[in-house]
Chains A and B, each alone.
Chain A
Amino acid sequence: GENVEQHPSTLSVQEGDSAVIKCTYSDSASNYFPWYKQELGKGPQLIIDIRSNVGEKKDQRIAVTLNKTAKHFSLHITETQPEDSAVYFCAASGGAGSYQLTFGKGTKLSVIP
């Protein structure tokens, strides 16, 4: 089955700096890669996703890049703000005809004012 590794597990940045979270996946047939943000006391919420026919996608201050050859994808947050503090999960799906999402273990991002 699919295996998703996520790094780092914790990340602290100064407000205004950029944050980068990286994930690798094992199944070369996977074709859908979402990122979820989980705020304290809430369920995860989709913030951005990318499909395998696209190399990069942006939405305001967040972007995701995908390198299918190396089987890794990354989340980039620019001009970080305190409200970006949360746990972020990457995920992958679509390998071997499966629609199930396999999640990484999460990254706790702290933005220091």
Chain B
Amino acid sequence: DADVTQTPRNRITKTGKRIMLECSQTKGHDRMYWYRQDPGLGLRLIYYSFDVKDINKGEISDGYSVSRQAQAKFSLSLESAIPNQTALYFCATSVGGANVLTFGAGSRLTVL
């Protein structure tokens, strides 16, 4: 089984719908992150969490929210999806004090 599991792997939805992307990890890491990848733009940080009670905005948090339900679970929500949120989303984890990220396989979201 993968260390960092993202569900769903692919999702097509319509403008205005609420979408949740889920991430779970078995690495025992305390830090979790959500990144967005767009062609030619690299990886941009949406939100990050250093522990269950700690949530921080990243570079591009507008239009997104997150929930850290447990140390191993971190979900990303789009309350009202719009087409320019079409992208590949990655969850990542790291252990405190070290910046080595372990990424999930990604969730491809298409908003029509």
Contacts and interface: CB of A to CB of B under 8 A. Distances in A.
A39 to B, nearest CB: 10
Interface residues of A, number: 23
Instruction: Pick from B92, B103, B105 the residue with the most CB of A within 10 Å.
Output: B103
Interface in A10-48: 32, 34, 36, 41-46
A9 B90 contact: no
Given A41-B105, A42-B105, A104 B42 contact: yes
> Secondary structure at chain A's binding surface: helix, strand, loop or mixed?
loop
Contacts of B99: 32, 34, 93-94, 99, 101
B45 to A, nearest CB: 6
A105 B45 contact: no
A89 B42 contact: yes
B12 interface: no
Contact of A105 (B41, B59, B90): B41
A52 B106 CA distance: 31
Interface in B3-19: 4
Contacts of B44: 103
List of 10 A-B pairs having minimum Cβ-Cβ separation, nearest first: A43-B103, A105-B42, A103-B43, A103-B42, A44-B103, A106-B42, A43-B105, A93-B99, A43-B104, A32-B99
